[in-house]
Amino acid sequence: MTTEQDADEIPDYATGLRLDDTVHVVLGAGMGIGRQAAHALGAVGARVVCVDVDPDRARTVAAEVAGVAWSGDLTQRADVEALFAFVGAELGRLDGVVDIVGGARYKPLIDLTDEDWTFHHDIVLRHAYLAIEYAAKHWRATGTGGTMTFVASVTGLESAPMVAAYGAHKAALLSLVRTAAVELGPDGIRVNAVAPGIVRTPRAQANPRWTPDLLAANVAKTPLRKLAYPADIAGPILFLAGRLSSHVTGQTLTVDGGNMILYNVDSPTP
């Protein structure tokens, strides 16, 4: 009988958790998932560029993580171009982009206006394809690779009432992630997404739509029997942005407490 010797080198997995001497840009860093993602990246050594449309929020989070603040409207091409020019000129490198920007208007499908559809295109999709364009141009020009991680939503994978435009554009975002991964992979650029379910962000907690009864009903049907907080999403973002996921691209990681694995019928609960 022949015994084969495994001669593969054992990586330093613990060091693979670190992001020292790297620069990561967080789009929408001012609160919620973005703020937690900035802290997660900063905690393992990354220098974080904290980007938010609100300059005060950008400065506050940048101070918390010893990062760099930048403010602009990421739905505008000129602002996105200026951001990546700033990162290249002032910080000298770019290793990763995390894009948290998003928002929804809750309306029945037949009540959505053209302006509602335009709003969702801008707040869900436009900033994403602009970020991909300018980050990829930077990496191609410098001959380096990097990572891009987008926050999508389970509404882009399944369906829910009142979020037709939001869900349609999140589905488009996931398609964009896959196509970008295919086209940019030869340049050493990885593109992935996380798809959260309900997250208790500051904005969500302030939304009167989320009544205690509605939240309790969602907890009751979630296998883990809890809702997510922003930190629950920041952890998977950190994994996809780091070296331990170096062979992962074009993927969407669902982070919803198990909701999508549960067949939606009434049945006895053990």
Q: What ranges do the domains of the chain cover?
A: 20-256
Close Cβ partners of 84 (under 8 Å, ≥ 6 residues apart): 94, 134, 135, 137, 138
User: For position 3, what pLDDT does the model report?
Assistant: 59
Return the structure tokens found at 56.
């005060």
Whole-angstrom distance, CA of residue 122 vs CA of residue 103: 10
Name residues of the chain where pLDDT drops below 70: 1-3, 263-270
Which residues are known catalytic residues?
166, 170
Cα-Cα-Cα-Cα torsion 132, 249, 100, 72, nearest 10 degrees, comes to: -20
Crossing angle of helices 77-86 and 127-142, in 10° steps, is 30
Whole-structure pTM value: 0.93
pLDDT of residue 266: 54
User: Does residue 108 contact residue 124 with C-beta atoms inside 8 Å?
Assistant: no
**Amino acid letter at 203?**
R
- CATH number at 20-256: 3.40.50.720
pLDDT > 70 in the chain, percent: 96
- The pLDDT tens digits for 130-176 are 999 999 999 999 999 999 999 999 999 998 899 999 999 999 999 99
What's residue 7's pLDDT? Answer: 87
| Angle, vertex CA 8, rays to CA 6 and CA 46, nearest 5 | 145
Antiparallel, parallel or unpaired: β 68-71 and 47-52: parallel
Phi then psi for residue 165, to 5 deg, are -70, -40
